[in-house]
């Protein structure tokens, strides 16, 4: 079975809905608020990072755009680097206590997990 991936009339087409990429609604329909209990959990992890520790925050029930804005604000307050991977915010270094106080000030329920 072959699918049309390009049309001279519309340009590139979405493989799921067969609409033009600029008119595709698949990404906005699939990108929603993640499910969970609403408790932000903060853990420290060094696995796969050559001993360098990172603080990982998961369980924050925000959509991708709001999560990106929150992560940027937290990175600026911590004066450190970081990334968002699979709906989790990663911050370079051990900032668990600071992250806990910053997130609680923003109204999130926070728990420290792990050792």
Q: What are the structural domains of the chain? A: 1-30 (no CATH), 33-112 (3.30.780.10)
Q: Give the model's pLDDT for residue 29.
A: 54
Residues of the chain with confidence (pLDDT) below 70? 1-10, 15-16, 18, 27-35, 115
Supply the DSSP symbol for 40.
E
d(CA 83, CA 72): 9
Compute the distance between CA of residue 10 and CA of residue 59 in angstroms, rounded to an integer: 39
pLDDT of residue 80: 94
- How far is Cα 56 from Cα 48, in angstroms, rounded to an integer? 14
Give CA–CA dist 62/88, Å, rounded.
Answer: 11
In this prediction the pTM is 0.69
Nearest of 110, 90, 108 to residue 41 by alpha carbon: 110
Give the pLDDT score at 21.
Answer: 72
Contact between 111 and 42 under an 8 Å Cβ cutoff? The reply is yes
């Amino acid at each position: 079975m072959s699918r049309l991936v390009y049309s001279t009339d519309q340009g590139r087409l979405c493989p799921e809905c067969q609409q033009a990429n600029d008119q595709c609604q698949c990404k906005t329909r699939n990108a929603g608020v993640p499910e969970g209990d609403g408790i932000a959990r903060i853990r420290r992890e060094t696995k796969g990072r050559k001993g360098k520790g990172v603080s990982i925050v998961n369980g924050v029930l925000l959509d991708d755009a709001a999560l990106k804005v929150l992560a940027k604000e937290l990175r600026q307050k911590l004066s450190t680097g970081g990334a968002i991977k699979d709906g989790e915010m990663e911050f370079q270094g051990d900032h668990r206590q600071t992250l806990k106080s910053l997130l609680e000030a923003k109204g999130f329920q926070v728990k420290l997990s792990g050792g």
